[in-house]
Structure 1
Amino acid sequence: METRCRRRTTTDRAVTRYMELCTRAALNSAERGRAFARQELIEAAVVGGLGLAVMGLSLGWAVRGARRISRRLELLRDSADLLTTRQLPDVMARLSAGEEVNAAAEAPPLADAEAEPDEIGQVGRSFNAARLAAVEAAVRQATLRRGLFAVLLSIARRNQTLVHRQLKLVDTLERRTDDPEALEQLFRIDHLTTRMRRHAENLIILSGAAPGRRWRRPVPVADVVSSAVSEIEDYARVEVPPMDRVGIAADAVADVVHLVAELLENATVFSPPHTRVTLRTGRERGGFVLRIDDRGPGLGSGPLHEAHRTLGHPDDFDPSRHDRLGLYVVGRLAARHAIEVTLHESPYGGTTAAVLLPGGVLADLEAEDPEGPEVPEETEGVSSLPCLP
Structure 2
Amino acid sequence: MLLGLVAVLAALLVSVRIGRGLVAELHALRNSALELAGRKLPATMRRLRSGEEVDVDAEVPAGAHGGDEIGQVHQALETVQRAAVTAAVERAEVLSGVSGVFVNLARRSQVLVHRQLTLLDAMERRTEDPAELDDLFRLDHLTTRMRRHAEGLIILSGAAPGRAWRKPVPLTDVVRAAVAEVEEYARVDVHRLPRAAVTGPAVADLTHLLAELVENATGFSPPHTKVHIRGEQVGTGYVVEIEDRGLGMGPEALADANRRIAAGEQVDLFDSDRLGLFVVSRLARRHGVRVALRPSAYGGTTAVVLLPTELLESEESEAGPPRGTPARSANRRSPPGRWPRR
Report the 3-state secondary structure (helix = DSSP H, G, I; strand = E; otherwise coil) of the residue aligned with 1:54: helix
Paired AA for residue 234 in structure 1: E
The equivalent of 2:51 in structure 1 is: 98
TM-score, length-normalised on structure 2?
Answer: 0.91
| Alignment pair present for 1:264 and 2:214 | yes
The equivalent of 1:197 in structure 2 is: 147
The equivalent of 1:352 in structure 2 is: 302
Compared CA separation, residues 98 and 179, structure 1 to 2 (3 A): same
Q: State the distance in 2 between where 1:286 and 1:80 align.
A: 46
Paired AA for residue 239 in structure 2: V
Decide which of 346, 365, 368 is 2:315's aligned counterpart.
365
Decide which of 74, 79, 82 is 2:27's aligned counterpart.
74
Q: Any stretches of 5+ residues in structure 2 without a counterpart?
A: 326-337
The equivalent of 1:299 in structure 2 is: 249
Report the 3-state secondary structure (helix = DSSP H, G, I; strand = E; otherwise coil) of the residue aligned with 2:233: strand
| Alignment pair present for 1:226 and 2:163 | no
User: Equivalences for 1:3-42 in 2 at 5 Å?
Assistant: none
Q: State the distance in 2 between where 1:325 and 1:191 align.
A: 21
Compared CA separation, residues 367 and 93, structure 1 to 2 (3 A): closer
| Alignment pair present for 1:215 and 2:165 | yes
Measure how far apart 1:369 and its partner are: 5.5
Compared CA separation, residues 388 and 289, structure 1 to 2 (3 A): farther
Measure how far apart 1:92 and its partner are: 2.1
Q: State the distance in 1 between where 2:133 and 2:324 align.
A: 22
Q: Confirm or deny: 8 A CA contact 1:167 1:193 kept in the other structure.
A: yes
Paired AA for residue 21 in structure 2: R
Deviations along 1:359-384, one digit per CA (max 9) or x if unpaired, are 001012246768x64249xxxxxxxx
Measure how far apart 1:191 and its partner are: 0.3
Q: State the distance in 1 between where 2:273 and 2:322 align.
A: 35
The equivalent of 2:323 in structure 1 is: 374
Q: Confirm or deny: 8 A CA contact 1:226 1:388 kept in the other structure.
A: no
Measure how far apart 1:343 and its partner are: 0.6
Q: State the distance in 2 between where 1:85 and 1:250 align.
A: 44
Report the 3-state secondary structure (helix = DSSP H, G, I; strand = E; otherwise coil) of the residue aligned with 2:225: coil
Aligned pairs, number: 329
The equivalent of 2:339 in structure 1 is: 387
Q: Confirm or deny: 8 A CA contact 1:344 1:352 kept in the other structure.
A: yes
Q: State the distance in 1 between where 2:59 and 2:130 align.
A: 67
The equivalent of 2:258 in structure 1 is: 308
Q: State the distance in 2 between where 1:80 and 1:276 align.
A: 56
Decide which of 250, 268, 274 is 2:200's aligned counterpart.
250
Report the 3-state secondary structure (helix = DSSP H, G, I; strand = E; otherwise coil) of the residue aligned with 1:201: helix
Q: State the distance in 2 between where 1:94 and 1:369 align.
A: 41
Q: Confirm or deny: 8 A CA contact 2:167 2:319 kept in the other structure.
A: no
Decide which of 167, 188, 201 is 1:238's aligned counterpart.
188
Q: Pairwise CA RMSD of aligned residues?
A: 1.8
TM-score, length-normalised on structure 1?
Answer: 0.81
Paired AA for residue 329 in structure 1: V
Identity %: 50
Deviates more, 1:301-310 or 1:351-360: 301-310
Decide which of 68, 77, 93 is 1:117's aligned counterpart.
68
Q: Confirm or deny: 8 A CA contact 2:168 2:319 kept in the other structure.
A: no
Q: State the distance in 1 between where 2:319 and 2:72 align.
A: 76
Compared CA separation, residues 264 and 56, structure 1 to 2 (3 A): same
User: Equivalences for 1:276-291 in 2 at 5 Å?
Assistant: 276-291=226-241
User: Bigger relative contact order, structure 1 or 2, given CA contacts below 8 A and separation 6+?
Assistant: 2
Report the 3-state secondary structure (helix = DSSP H, G, I; strand = E; otherwise coil) of the residue aligned with 2:239: strand
Deviations along 1:328-348, one digit per CA (max 9) or x if unpaired, are 100110111111100110111
Q: State the distance in 2 between where 1:143 and 1:70 align.
A: 41
Larger radius of gyration: 1
Report the 3-state secondary structure (helix = DSSP H, G, I; strand = E; otherwise coil) of the residue aligned with 2:164: coil
Deviates more, 1:53-62 or 1:303-312: 53-62
Q: Which runs of structure 1 show a deviation greater than 3 angstroms over 4 or more consecutive aligned residues?
A: 366-370
Q: Confirm or deny: 8 A CA contact 1:218 1:366 kept in the other structure.
A: no
Deviations along 1:289-320, one digit per CA (max 9) or x if unpaired, are 11111111111121112111110122422111
The equivalent of 1:381 in structure 2 is: none
Q: State the distance in 2 between where 1:84 and 1:323 align.
A: 31
Report the 3-state secondary structure (helix = DSSP H, G, I; strand = E; otherwise coil) of the residue aligned with 1:295: coil
Compared CA separation, residues 107 and 50, structure 1 to 2 (3 A): same
Q: Confirm or deny: 8 A CA contact 2:222 2:245 kept in the other structure.
A: yes
